[in-house]
Structure 1
């Protein structure tokens, strides 16, 4: 039984329409496992986000669209990218979102990290960090600065096809070569190991024997654009609850 005597009924993998969502139903009066930051979201104040992206930024665009449509109670305070002039930075500039380059080849490594942490924390007051196709290593100092407050989306069903070197088209090539009949997308919290953070939600897509890696990539990306905004919305609404066993679940009630 959870601390405080509040019983909960957990539905760990509720598959609806190809989507696996970790969810929970709680009795009234209990908020076990909800962080102080999550509780503050219930007051209705928009959360402040930092998005990290390296390429075209399609997941960034999906999140921004959901914000503009009112589906996510947040605003993107800053885009962080390692590539000047990529699609993500162009989109950010067009929407009046400040851009920060990290790592910046013109700045020493330690100074660059210090500036990044200062920009996120003091300048922009970032609540949550979202990795959306960011291809650089995330420093442990940054991960520790946002415990349970940093999400990533991976183009496969973790723990399969994850880890160092499993990104982009490499993942889909491995999926096709393996002969599996399902793959998908995973949203997980970030820790100091590649793709090892706790899974929040997954979405499935079928893999046909005739599919090329490019076919699989296209199907998975469409799912990513649906899944990631949904999970970010839950995070900003304070609906992600941490169980006593250390697993996050999306609550169906507040």
Structure 2
């Protein structure tokens, strides 16, 4: 059984998609040990509590510096003995100590087709604003492993979403979530939980 810690910062819609996929048998052989947020007001924590999952807040404001926060976050994750760390709308920059502790065991969802509209500064609505401004016809979402860079880790799954003429950033954001993010994040977790994902020379292979 794959044990997961899910890191969140806000409403937890991606967390809910994971929970629903577990209920529906889309994700098998996996369980969530803890949901951890940097934001005490994150509604995602309430979603976790409602399911009887440990809901933990570790706020950077509670520590004298970022290094102390990073160490506390890593220690809390390690205390659960998890196999996989899932970033589900987590706005915390993942520190090197965590990447080193969980090589190819941290996954993130990015709301674009990497390498387009990714890297430093591309998060949330900013991604969709950039896609519309550039006039691309197709966007989507990417699930990838987290490495020391920003959105540079090995790509696990991608799914394309068509951009429509009357899209606003908010409308596009919602459609990318519904059509891509909430589909490929659960699928990626299931593949990993069932031992079907390997990484060789920086590339993901699915058996």
Fold shared per TM-score above 0.5: yes
Q: Does 1:196 align with 2:152?
A: yes
Between structure 1 and structure 2, the one with the greater Rg is 1
What is the CA distance between 1:186 and its match in structure 2? 0.3
C-alpha deviations, 1:132-183, integer Å up to 9, x for none?
Answer: 1111111110111100101000000010000111011111000111000000
Higher mean alpha-carbon deviation, 49-58 vs 211-220, is at 211-220
RCO comparison, higher one (Cα < 8 Å, 6+): 1
Tell me, which stretches of 5 or more residues in structure 2 are unaligned? none
Partner of 2:14: 59
**Contact 2:40–2:59 (Cα < 8 Å) also in 1:** no
Structure 2 counterpart of 1:112, from 49, 69, 79: 69
Structural RMSD (CA): 1.4
Instruction: Give the distance between the partners of 1:201 and 1:104, measured in 2 at CA.
Output: 31
- Asked whether 1:91 is paired with 2:47, we answer yes
Residues 171-216 of structure 1: CA distance to partner in whole angstroms, max 9, x if unpaired? Answer: 1000111000000000000011111111111000111222111221
User: Match for residue 165 of structure 1?
Assistant: 121
Scaled by the length of structure 1, what TM-score is found?
Answer: 0.77
Given the alignment of the two structures, is residue 70 of structure 1 paired with residue 5 of structure 2, yes or no?
no
Give the match for residue 189 of structure 2.
232
Normalising by structure 2, we get a TM-score of: 0.93
C-alpha distance in 2, partners of 1:104/1:214? 29
Distance 1:198 1:154, change over 3 A: same
CA distance in 2 between counterparts of 1:52 and 1:66 reads: 17
Which has a greater percent of helix? 2
> For the residues of structure 1 that align with 2:206 and 2:34, how far apart are their CA atoms?
26
Distance in 1, matches of 2:88 and 2:35, equals 10
Q: How many residues align?
A: 204
Q: Distance in 2 between matches of 1:108 and 1:93?
A: 28
**Structure 1 position 106, deviation (Å):** 1.9
| Contact 1:179–1:209 (Cα < 8 Å) also in 2 | no
User: Any conservation in 2 of the 1:78–1:100 contact (CA below 8 Å)?
Assistant: yes
**Structure 1: tracts of 5 or more residues without a match:** 1-45
Secondary structure (helix, strand or coil) at the match of 2:91 reads coil
